[in-house]
Amino acid sequence: MQTLYRRLLSILPRIGVKVVDLGPGTALVFRRGERTVAPVGRGADLVARGKARYTVTDAGTDTWVVARAAAGRSVTSVPLGPTGARLLLDGAVPADGEREFQLAASHYLCAQHVAALLELNGVNCVFDVGANTGQYGKGLRRFGYTGRIVSFEPVSDTFAKLRRSAENDPDWHVYNFALGREEAVQSIHVDWKSMNSLLPPSEYGKERYRRFAKGRTEEIEVRRLDDVMQKALEGIEDPRPYLKMDTQGFDMEVFAGAGERISEFVGLQSEVAALRLYEGSPAMGEAVAAYEAAGFGVTGMYPVTRDPATGRVVEFDCVMVRAPEPGGPAAT
């Protein structure tokens, strides 16, 4: 026998009121348009305007992601260990996009790791050497770093973009020169996008990147890090600097230019090469050994690029902090 409730629902459409039955004792009534119902979890429904189809993906306890479904599209929810966090993957990404995804994830994890280290070690000035257009500085701000940033970018066109990135940030200082082992005027290879370098490409580099076959050179000023530190740290009562280097094969030259003042840095980050893209750049083992000899210990290694043919890592972001003295207290 039909209940009064059910009979009422059957009558409503006759007087121009539309009905969507949502289950025992629950219904949606409306006058105009169409509605789509998508089940969400147990005993819950999503009601949306129109006739579009939606996908619902479990994203943890009592949490779902609802997306308008495109043809063949699906979303996969992957738990990240016991952290409670989940990664949502668009199922439409082709299998050959896995490597690109891995590198993007590595970049994110590296930035998050660095932000945590800066806070843990009380860093109040980051030397951003090889700043390009300011991507690194912007990333620091997104992850909550509020201290001083001092960026160095020698290429004139790129520096103009860096200056615009920093113009509304009063504690982000920018300089239009390179850092190296000694003061000089040198030629830098430009028009290689973010890979401009003071070094020529290696044979492997020429095979890996077509851009190295083109480009031009530009005369730039090179200065020593220990000569610019006093001005860069001016006004900071108790400086605790961190050195980030991304100079396309020139990081060891920047490091050498710090001289004895490298002991003032509480940590560093360097792009080290497992496969050398630039002629004359140090091998990864050589670079890491030099940093360790200066008192730094590795806290993370994050792939930056991979060889598409072999899957081998070309470069890593190597993150380090000053190691404690033997028998001394742990680094903070």
pLDDT digits (tens), the chain, 332 positions:
557 666 766 777 777 778 777 777 677 777 777 777 777 766 677 777 766 677 777 766 667 777 676 655 667 777 777 777 777 776 655 555 667 778 888 999 999 999 999 999 999 999 999 999 999 999 999 999 999 999 999 999 999 999 999 999 999 999 999 999 999 999 999 999 899 999 999 999 999 999 999 889 999 999 999 999 999 999 999 999 999 999 999 999 999 999 999 999 999 999 999 999 999 999 999 999 999 999 999 999 999 999 988 989 999 999 999 977 655 544 44
Q: Domain coordinates of the chain in residue numbers?
A: 4-90, 95-322
| Residues in contact with 34: Cβ distance below 8 Å, sequence separation at least 6, in sequence order | 18, 49, 50, 51
- Is residue 29 within 8 A of residue 13, CB to CB? The reply is no
| Residues in contact with 263: Cβ distance below 8 Å, sequence separation at least 6, in sequence order | 294, 295
CATH, range 95-322:
3.40.50.150
Residue 271 CB-half CA count within 13 A: 23
Kind of pairing, strands 148-152 and 125-129? Answer: parallel
Selection from 250, 234, 232, 241 nearest residue 268 by Cα: 241
Q: How far apart are CA 307 and CA 21, in angstroms?
A: 56
